Amino acid sequence: MIIPGSSSIALSRQLASELNRDIAPVEITRFPDDECYVRLHSEVPSEVIIVQNTYPDRNIMELFLLQNAAREAGAQHIITVIPYYGYCRQDKKFQEGESISARKLAHLIQQDSDLVITLDPHKPILDAFFDIPLLMPSAIPVIAHFFHNKKIDIVLAPDKGALQRAQDTAVLLNSGYDYLEKKRLSGDKVIMESKTLDVKDKNVLVIDDIISTGGTMALAIHNLKKQEATAVYAACSHGLFIGQAVTKIMAAGCTQLISTDTLESPYSHVSVAPVIAEALSSHSP
């Protein structure tokens, strides 16, 4: 049985159909002071799959309550699917006095969980923070599939650290790959050092794990259009699209913007349900 958190209703339905499971009738409401209330309106089988993001903050509490309600209702094996793991940026103390939020959240999530699945976490070190099994499948195959008939010549990562993602996508698309030189000055300010790439008259795909403010992607597209790329597609696993992100990206000359449904938006043209289903079926406890 799948228990859909309010961040992931459409994805839960897709997953239910992939796995041929029922969707649990669940009531999720808020009190006038915004405290969350959840109630399961049916008995639960011994194994349940809860699907809920840990972003934004209010979804975290809802996740804990759903896990607790499932346990209280007698679930023996709780699989927690976190399509987008919020709070993954802080995986260590960059400065004395900081909290390690990715680890703290992991400790809280695993209290009522037996297996956790999350897609393309910002920091793969997440693995080290869980004492229960954690699966981290990638959305790259479904993203690459979306672009298979777009004649992509080259896949680019917006920075060197993300090169592996570009390479993995390029292998599936049978195209070249490279990276751009990005420097982050602050949370919402990035610069890209000019780097000459062989993109003139080519179809380019820029792929990132997250699009947040859109600054990184817009800058990348701007650079590539300046270098006379024909089409510049933008793709990400997790489309947060904060503020004017989409406007910035489109204004930079983006041909098409797509994300997956880890965060549901009008740009969720690709579903990660088959990826989650495959991870589940290949996991042997």
Active site residues: 182
Nearest to 254 by CA among 206, 200, 196: 206
Applying CB under 6 A, does 88 fall inside the site for ligand R5P? no
CA-CA distance, 140 to 113, in Å (whole number)? 26
Shortest Å, Cβ 165 to ligand R5P: 9
Q: What is the DSSP string of 176-195?
A: EEEE-EEEEEETTEEEEE--
Give the CB-side neighbour count of residue 62, counting CA atoms within 13 A: 25
Q: Near ligand R5P by CB under 6 A, which window of 15-23, 193-201, 211-219, 255-263?
A: 211-219
- Encode 94-156 in three state secondary structure: CCCCCCCHHHHHHHHHHCCCCEEEECCCCCHHHHHHCCCCEECCCCHHHHHHHCCCCCCCEEE
Taking only Cα atoms into account, the Rg of the chain, rounded to an integer number of angstroms, comes to: 20
Percent of residues in the chain assigned helix, strand, coil, to nearest 5? 35, 25, 40
- 199 near ligand R5P, rule: CB under 6 A: no
- Taking residues 121 to 160 in sequence order and writing x for each that binds ligand R5P by CB under 6 A, - otherwise, the string is -------------------------------------x--
Stretch that binds ligand R5P, among 38-46, 73-81, 202-210, 253-261 (CB under 6 A): 202-210
Stretch that binds ligand R5P, among 38-46, 69-77, 93-101, 212-220 (CB under 6 A): 212-220
Of 4 and 239, nearer to ligand R5P (C-beta) is 239
Q: Is 120 in the site for ligand R5P (CB under 6 A)?
A: no
Q: Of 66 and 140, which has the nearer Cβ to ligand R5P? A: 140
Tell whether residue 91 is a contact of ligand R5P (CB under 6 A).
Answer: no
Contacting positions for ligand R5P (CB under 6 A): 158, 162, 190, 208-217
